[in-house]
Structure 1
Amino acid sequence: MASKKLITVFGATGAQGGAVVRALLQNQSFAVRAVTRNLDGNGARELKKLKAEVVKGDTDDKDGVKKVLSGAFGCFLVTNFLEHFDMNREIQQGKNVADACKAAGIKHLVFSGLDNTEGSGAAGPVHHFDGKAKIEDYIEQIGISYTSTRVSFYNENFLNFNPSTEDGRK
């Protein structure tokens, strides 16, 4: 059997990245390199049990990003504005990964993006959308083969941001 194509997944211990890792491993056509900043966390331990290659990485670290992409066929990237509430930092993190993907010869990047709201009539800037839109613009500008997903709201947000009582009622 030919060797499996390696996919590097950023945000691997989060909801989106974790779902991507599990789906790729279930498919059995791919090997997965799961990127996390905390190798000792519960999420990292769970992914190791599933037979993902779990590596330490941080999208703020340009050299580290290059290392975790080495030898990969493809990449999944999700950025997390809500971690630091800094759109410019999120954009730079996305650019770091995009540049490293281009340098590594990644064949395809899947980016979890959102639409640009600037000029849409939205009440004020929507930084967690607009930063991702700027990252996507950059990915396109540097000429990487990519797909952008658009998932603007998750049902689990009802639980995470709107906690209810133990029996599920308000």
Structure 2
Amino acid sequence: MTITQDSSAPLVAVVGATGAQGGSVVKALAESNKPYRVRGFTRDSTKPAAQKLVAQGVDVVDVSLVLDNVKNVFKAFEGANMAFLMTAFMVHLDAERETAEGKMMIDAAKAAGVERIVWSGLSNVTKISGGKYTHVVNFDSKALVTDYGRQSGVPFVDVQAGWYASNFMNPGQCPVKRPDGTFAIRLPVTPTASFPIIDAERDYGLYVVHVLEAAVFPDGEEVRTGEYLTMEEIALQLSQATGKQIVIDPMPMDQFEKEMTAMGLPPVLVLDLTDAYSAVGEFGYYGGKASPSVEGLFRTPTSWFEYAKTADWSKVLA
């Protein structure tokens, strides 16, 4: 089913429509066997990704989702029946701003009469760790938005994104070549630490659309996404998929901090990452909650092995 312009179809407002998560939601709405009108929010409708959405029938709206633009934010949600909301911490690295903007979007969706909200949240690491790890601010700030959304009076579900498969393409997280020709993933976690791997661009939207289409909307629930694998399994499957020998070589946390600082990462992000890896290793990515389920999705998500097999590793594993 393609995206429709038929006024009888529900209108879904999608924040971040040109990004990984929002773009995946649009993709899944287009793949569904049910018709949808889609309004995609973006900061720049002239960029190629936005124009591609226009060609697919998406109503692309330029809107800056900041507090100073609150009137236009409220206007952008008018007429929507459902909404997918997310924030972009990595754009500004300001946890208080992220929480405030998330709450503003919930208020705007509520004022517009939206019947179902799906929010891209994350766990409160400070609470999960009993106050031991307090610097994973991009998790905690989203968790505060989740609390607000559950109290808004609008049916609200938190669909949490797992660990992006594409993270292993990024500097500081990708395999590093060693003198003997093998490659090592050097992160401050043990080989037995588990991560819920997800190909976010392809598959995150599957979970969102599954929730939006639920016969009984699971108001207040938390949906977890991804395929749980240990670091050891991640390295083994990447080796099998690429034909390269890849191992886990845990890095001491103090060395990781120094390397992230040397790469030019802001102090807030260095602290965030160090506490995040520590918390995952000790308490789990989802704080020990049940593993993600794929039951009911209209297609099977991409596995880590499938992602590794089809991704272009030529620059990473040169």
Conservation of the 8 A alpha-carbon contact between 2:12 and 2:83: yes
Contact 1:12–1:35 at 8 Å: present in 2 too?
yes
TM-score, with length taken from structure 2: 0.51
Is 1:99 aligned to residue 102 of structure 2? no
Which of these residues, 2, 15, 35, is aligned with residue 29 of structure 1? Answer: 35
- 8 Å contact from structure 1 (residues 114, 132) kept in 2: yes
Q: Distance in 1 between matches of 2:7 and 2:70?
A: 31
The whole-number CA distance in structure 2 between the counterparts of 1:137 and 1:158 is 31
Cα separation, 1, equivalents of 2:156 and 2:116: 5
CA offset digits 1:46-79 (Å, max 9, x no partner): 1111111101112112111111111110000111
**Structure 2 residue aligned with 1:147:** 157
SS for the counterpart of 1:109 is strand
User: Which residue in 1 is equivalent to 2:281?
Assistant: none
**Cα drift, residue 159 of structure 1:** 1.7
| Matching of residues 1-170 of structure 1 within 5 Å | 3-27=8-32, 28-60=34-66, 61-121=69-129, 122-161=132-171, 162=173, 166-169=314-317
Matched residue, 2:219: none
Distance in 2 (alpha carbons) for counterparts of 1:132 and 1:156: 21
SS of residue in 1 equivalent to 2:52: helix
Q: CA contact under 8 A between 1:108 and 1:146: conserved in structure 2?
A: yes
2-side partners of 1:21 and 1:40: how far apart?
18
Alignment deviations for residues 21-41 of structure 1 (CA, whole Å, 9 cap, x no partner): 111123251110000010111
**Secondary structure at 1:142 match in 2:** coil
In structure 2, relative to structure 1, the CA distance for the partners of 1:120 and 1:145 (3 Å cut) is same
The 3-state SS of whatever aligns with 1:66 is helix
Residue 2 of structure 1 deviates from its aligned partner by 7.0
In the superposition, relative to structure 1, how do residues 58 and 169 fare at CA in structure 2: closer, same or farther (>3 Å)?
Answer: same
Gaps of 5+ in 2: 1-5, 176-312
CA shift at 1:119, angstroms?
3.4
Question: What is the percent sequence identity of the aligned residues?
Answer: 36
* Shift of residue 167, structure 1, vs aligned partner: 4.8
Q: How far apart, in 1, do the equivalents of 2:162 and 2:28 lie?
A: 20
Q: CA deviation at 1:169?
A: 1.0
- Number of aligned residue pairs: 170
- Structure 1 residue 11: Cα displacement: 0.6
Distance 1:135 1:2 in 2: 31
State the TM-score, normalizing by the size of structure 1: 0.92
Task: Please give the secondary structure, in 2, of the residue aligned with 1:119.
Answer: helix
Q: Give the RMSD, CA atoms, in angstroms.
A: 1.9
| Inter-partner Cα distance in structure 1 for 2:174 and 2:44 | 26
* Matched AA of 1:29: P
